[in-house]
Structure 1
Amino acid sequence: MRTSPTGPAGPARTRFTPRLRAALAALVIAAAGGTTLAGSPASAAATSTSTSTSTSGDTTQFRGVNWADPRDNFADDPVVLSGLSTSDSYDRTYAKASRVISAFRANLGANTVRLPINPYTANGSYWKSYRGVIDAASDKGFKVILSYWEGTGPRKDGFIDDQATFWPMWNTVVKAYKADKRVYFEPMNEPHGYTDAEWADIAAKWLDTYPSVPRNRVFVSGAGYNDHVTSVCADPRLKGTYLSLHHYGFWKSYATYDQWVADLKERIGDCAGRTVADEFGAPMTTGLDYNKPAPSDNYVNYVQAVTDTFRELRMGSVYWPGLRTDDTYTLQTLTGDPDRPWLATTNQSGADRLAWGWGRGKPVRP
C-alpha cells in the first residue's frame, strides 16, 4: 500500500510505517531533480541490456485491484480486509467476499484481486476464515495474487521479519493453493532494506524452496519498494516468473506527462513482457477529473501517463486500492447492508483510465 507523507488514513494515523518511509525517501529524491530513485534502476537497466531474461508477449490478462486492510497491510496482527471481521466465519467471509468480488467485476471490469498475507494471518486461527476470501475470488474466476507484507517492527534476524514465521506461513499458503491455477504467489511486497543482489538471492531461495509451484504463478517484486524491475529481470535464476512493479504520483511533487512516461519506462527497462504494475494509484475521492488534460496538475499528468504507458506496453495493472476504507485513493467504497456488501465507484474518470490502461475503452487524451 501507498502512504503519502500526509497519510490517506487521516490524522489519527501516526505510525511511521515502511510505506511512509518510502514516501519520504521518494520525495527527497524527487526534490533533487532526478528521475532515478534509490536502488539505481538506471544502472540496473544497463545490466539488463546484456543479460535480460525478459520474455516476449504481454501481461494484459491481469486486470485488477488491491483489496486492503483499513489500517494498512503493514500489520502486527492478522490482516482484515475492508468490510470483513475476524469474528466472521468461513461461510460469512466467503459470502461477503463473493459480493465484493462480483462488484469489482461489475463496476470496473476487473478479473484479478491482490490480497495481503502475513504470518499472523496464515499461521493463526483467522486463516480458516480468511481462506473464504481467496476461495470466493477463485470460484468467481478471478486471478488471486497473494502477497506477503511485513509488520511494522524491526527485522529480527536481518531477513524478512523473522524466518521462524516467514517459511511456515508460506508452507501453509503454498500447500493450500499450489493446485489452484488461479492463485499466484508474491514472496514479498516491497523488499526494502536489501540490495538488489540480496533481494534476488531471497527470491531465488523462495523458488528453490517451492519447486512444485510453476514459475508462471510467481510474482517477483522489483527491488527496493518494488520501484524497479530491471535487476530481477536480469537474474537468470528468476527466469519464467512475473515481475511486479509499484509506481506512485506522490513520488514527485510535480512532473509533466512526458516526465512521468520517461520515469515509468526507466523502471521497466526492456522487461514489460513480464511485468505487472501491481500497485499504482492517485487521489480518487477529491474530485479530480482524469479524463481531461490538466498540465498543471501532477496527479492528472501521472494517471494519464501511466495508463497510456501500460496500454502501449501491453502491461497488466492492479490498482491501489480497489477497496480500502477511509483511503482517499480508493476507487470503490462499501455501500448497503454490511452483511450483504456492494460497492460504488468513487471516481468514474479514474475507473475510465484504469480500463484504458487495460486496453479497453476509448482514448481520453488528445
Structure 2
Amino acid sequence: MPLLTLPAEASAATSGFRGVNWADARDNYVDGWVIPTGLTASDSYSTVRTKADGVVTGFQNLLGANTLRLPINPQSVNSAWWTAYKGAFDSALAHGMKVIVSYWEADTSKNGLVDDTAGWNTMWDRVTSDFAGNPNVYFEPMNEPFGYSLSSWVSLCSGWLARHSNIPRGRVVISGTGYNDNVTGVGAATALTGTLLSLHFYGFWASDTTRAAWTANLTDRLGSYSARTIIDEAGAPMTTGLTYTNGATQDGNVFTSYFAATTDLTRARQMGVVYWPGLRSGDTYSITRQSGSGLAVNNASGVAQLRWGWGL
C-alpha cells in the first residue's frame, strides 16, 4: 500500500487512538436509552459486562483496536440503565482500552443542539464523577453539533470545561463544527487550548474517485490541527464485496479511494482513527458482526486498510 505524497504536517500526538465505535442498531440518535448492538434493555450490569467482554476482546484480537467510542444521552445516564450500561465501559477499561464517551441528541430533536441543557449537565456531572479518576476515559461533550455557529459552539464547550475543570483538557475531545466536519475553527479558538479535537469524514460526502482528491478534501478540513485531532468517525461499506488494499485499483471507486486516502493520511501524520462502526447490526459499514459470544470480520481487506491507517 504505497503512500501518496501528502502535505507536510508536524508529528501528531493522537496515533495512540486505534479505535472503533460500538453503536446502537437504531443509530445512536434515539429517544430513550442508547443500547449498543448485542445488549438489551433488560441486561444487568453483570450481563452487560460479560457481553462486552466478548465484543471488546473481538475488537482487540481481530482488529488490533485499543480504543472504544461509546454513546450516551441523558435518558441513558439519568436512569437505572446507567448502572448496567457502565459494564461496557468497565469491560473496555479492564481490557486496557481507552474509552471515548460522547453525547448524542435524541432522534426526535436532531437539530444539532443540546436537547435539554439541565439534563445534559446532570448527565455529564454523573459521567465525569464516575470516570474522572481514570486516565483512559476521554469526554466528548457533543457529537456533530451542526446547529451551532462556531462562536456559540466554542461558548458551550467553554462552559463545559469550566463546569468540569477537574478533567484535564487533554482528556476532552471537542467536536469540529457542523457534522464534526471541520476542526479549523475550534482548533484556532484560544478558549479551547489544550483539548483534543474530533473530526468526522465520510465517502458519501463527495463523488470523487481518486485518492488525490480525497486527500485534498480531508487536508482542508484539518488545517494545521492534525496534531490534536482524532478522526473519531470514518468508515466505508464492508459487506458489499469491495477490496480496499490493492493500491493499483484504489482509484476509480468512491469508497476505495476515500478509505485509502483517509488511512494514508492518518498513517503519514500519525493520527488516531476510530472507525464507524466497529459493530452495529444492519449497517453495511460495520467492520465486524456478532458471532457466538464474540465477533467475526466482515471484510479482511477493510481491516488491513484500517490497520494501515493506524500505523500497524
Residues 181-214 of structure 1: CA distance to partner in whole angstroms, max 9, x if unpaired? 1111000000011111111111111101100001
Matched, 1:248 2:206: no
- The letter of the residue matching 1:183 is V
- The letter of the residue matching 1:330 is S
Give the direction of change, closer, same or farther, for the CA distance of 1:163–1:355 in structure 2 (3 Å limit): same
Deviation at 1:231, TM superposition (A): 0.4
Cα distance in 1 for partners of 2:74, 2:294 equals: 29
Deviation at 1:252, TM superposition (A): 1.0
Structure 2 unaligned spans of 5+: 1-8
Matches within 5 A, 1:218-237: 218-237=172-191
Matched, 1:70 2:25: yes
TM-score by length of 2: 0.94
Cα distance in 2 for partners of 1:345, 1:207 equals: 38
Quick check: 1:55–1:274 contact (8 Å CA) kept in 2? no
**RMSD, aligned CA:** 1.5
Deviation at 1:254, TM superposition (A): 3.0
Match of 1:323 in 2: 279
Query: Which of 141, 148, 167 does residue 103 from structure 2 map onto?
Result: 148
Match of 1:298 in 2: 254
Quick check: 2:11–2:269 contact (8 Å CA) kept in 1? no
Match of 2:65 in 1: 110
Residues 28-85 of structure 1: CA distance to partner in whole angstroms, max 9, x if unpaired? xxxxxxxxxxxxxxxxxxxxxxxxxx99642100000000000000010000110011
Deviation at 1:282, TM superposition (A): 0.5
Percent identical across equivalent pairs? 48
Give the direction of change, closer, same or farther, for the CA distance of 1:57–1:304 in structure 2 (3 Å limit): closer
Cα distance in 1 for partners of 2:300, 2:251 equals: 20
Cα distance in 1 for partners of 2:199, 2:188 equals: 15
Residues 111-156 of structure 1: CA distance to partner in whole angstroms, max 9, x if unpaired? 0000000001000110000000001100110000000000122389
Query: Which of 178, 190, 198 does residue 144 from structure 2 map onto?
Result: 190
Quick check: 2:73–2:104 contact (8 Å CA) kept in 1? yes
Give the direction of change, closer, same or farther, for the CA distance of 1:109–1:274 in structure 2 (3 Å limit): same
- The letter of the residue matching 1:200 is V
Cα distance in 1 for partners of 2:165, 2:200 equals: 26
Matched, 1:211 2:165: yes
Quick check: 1:55–1:271 contact (8 Å CA) kept in 2? no
Deviation at 1:257, TM superposition (A): 1.2
- The letter of the residue matching 1:182 is N
Cα distance in 1 for partners of 2:10, 2:132 equals: 24
Structure 1 unaligned spans of 5+: 1-53, 361-366
Match of 1:312 in 2: 268
Cα distance in 1 for partners of 2:205, 2:119 equals: 32
Residues 141-182 of structure 1: CA distance to partner in whole angstroms, max 9, x if unpaired? 0000000000122389x9511112111011111111101111
Cα distance in 2 for partners of 1:213, 1:230 equals: 23
SS class of match (1:179): coil
Matches within 5 A, 1:73-92: 73-92=28-47
Give the direction of change, closer, same or farther, for the CA distance of 1:344–1:155 in structure 2 (3 Å limit): closer
Give the direction of change, closer, same or farther, for the CA distance of 1:80–1:211 in structure 2 (3 Å limit): same
Q: Which runs of 4+ in 1 moved over 3 A?
A: 54-57
Give the direction of change, closer, same or farther, for the CA distance of 1:128–1:112 in structure 2 (3 Å limit): same
Match of 1:37 in 2: none
Cα distance in 2 for partners of 1:56, 1:304 equals: 20
Aligned length, in residue pairs: 302
Match of 1:179 in 2: 133
Cα distance in 1 for partners of 2:100, 2:259 equals: 23
TM-score by length of 1: 0.80
- The letter of the residue matching 2:216 is A
Quick check: 2:69–2:99 contact (8 Å CA) kept in 1? yes
Matched, 1:124 2:79: yes
Match of 1:352 in 2: 304
Cα distance in 2 for partners of 1:255, 1:229 equals: 24
Cα distance in 1 for partners of 2:198, 2:187 equals: 10
